[in-house]
Each structure stands twice: as C-alpha cells, then as structure tokens.
Structure 1
Amino acid sequence: MSISVSINNDNDTVTIAIVGSFDFSLFNDFRAAYSNLAEHYALYVIDMSTVEYLDSAALGMLLSMRNAIEQDSKIQLKGANAFIKNILMISRFDKRFDIQ
C-alpha cells in the first residue's frame, strides 16, 4: 500500500503519508484514510515528501477530502518537491490548503 495513516491524539492531528505516485490508483485507499476515522481532527497533514508524481485525479481527491471533512479542520500539504508544489500553486490550492 502506498498510503499510511498515523494519528497523534495529543496534537489532534492525522498524518496521511503518500509514497510514489499520487494518482487514481490510490482513490479508494486515500478516501479510506480520512473517512474511516472514528473521530474528527483539527489538522490533517498530507505528507507528500516521497510523492514522485501527481495527476489531476490526485488534485480531485484532495478537493473531495476538503469537502468531506469538517470545515473547521485544516489540511496541510507538506513536503512536496518543487515541481509538485508548483502544480499545487498554479491550481490555486493555496487558497484551500496550507502548503508547506
């Protein structure tokens, strides 16, 4: 599996780490990573430090996540390489997500 989930209850944070290609093949696993959680968290960190490729399906999955979780929760896209960060900025994801 190319997705792992870790929960830090002390910080009210969920970290979803993605490895390799972030594309449509991860659709079900990515959705399960945040929708199958027993409770609501203040911060969801998407660790993209080992993502090598991102396609339009991944962008759609991130938007679906933003719409599915509580509006007062923050989503942080963290560790993306310069190429992927540029795609996120061109797509204006900085308006809906905290890009680190």
Structure 2
Amino acid sequence: MSISVTANDSINTVTITIVGSFDFSLFNDFREAYSDLTNHYKVYVVDMSMVEYLDSAALGMLLSMRNTIELGSNIQLKGANAFIKNILMISRFDKRFDIQ
C-alpha cells in the first residue's frame, strides 16, 4: 500500500498514484497527497490502475478531496478495474468526478 505524487507544472496537472488496497490505512497519506501541494492545479488525476481493493473509507476520502479542491479543478479517476469502476458508478461518483 503506497501513494506517490507527481506534479507537472507545465500542463498544470498532478497525478496521485495508489498501489494496493485503497482503504482507511491510507487516510493521512492520501489527504497529504493533495493538501500539502504548494500550487493549485487545474487537473488532479487519481491513478487507480494498481488498486486491488477499495472500501467505503476510500469513497469518503475521495469525497473529502472533492470538497477540498477548488471548484474549477477537474478530478479524474483513471485506470480502475471493472469491479472498482462499478462501485464508483453505483455510488454515483460519475456526478462529481471524471471517471476514465
């Protein structure tokens, strides 16, 4: 379980990559991944291509991120497997996030 952050100032994008289980154990690391940034970005990408498991705490963390990030910024949830993407759709996250 780990989180890495890659900022690209030239295209005003930050990518937060999650590896392993996306659950409550990542609460502080995930929050720090976007709240400790020195710049505000137009696009925030949450790379979920290596997420094996997602629980309700992760859904809450994503909603907290949405409420913290400036309204004009786009949050993209990318690379989720079919099972996780289905959870996101059932939870109606497609109304608040750009799911790819």
Shared topology, TM-score over 0.5? Answer: yes
Match of 1:36 in 2: 36
**Cα separation, 2, equivalents of 1:17 and 1:69:** 17
For the pair 1:23 / 2:23, whether they are aligned, the reply is yes
- TM-score scaled to structure 2, two decimals? 0.99
**Cα separation, 1, equivalents of 2:59 and 2:94:** 12
Match of 1:80 in 2: 80
Match of 2:13 in 1: 13
**Cα separation, 2, equivalents of 1:86 and 1:48:** 13
> Deviations 1:25-65 (Å, cap 9, x if unpaired)?
00000000000000100000000000000000000000000
Unaligned runs of 5+ in 2: none
For this pair of structures, how many residues does the alignment match? Answer: 100
Q: Percent identity?
A: 81
Q: Which runs of 4+ in 1 moved over 3 A?
A: none
What's the RMSD between the two structures over aligned residues? 0.6
**Cα separation, 2, equivalents of 1:56 and 1:69:** 20
Unaligned runs of 5+ in 1: none
**Cα separation, 1, equivalents of 2:46 and 2:34:** 10
**Cα separation, 2, equivalents of 1:12 and 1:21:** 28
Match of 1:63 in 2: 63
For the pair 1:97 / 2:97, whether they are aligned, the reply is yes
**Cα separation, 1, equivalents of 2:81 and 2:3:** 18
- TM-score scaled to structure 1, two decimals? 0.99
What is the SS of the residue equivalent to 1:72?
A: coil
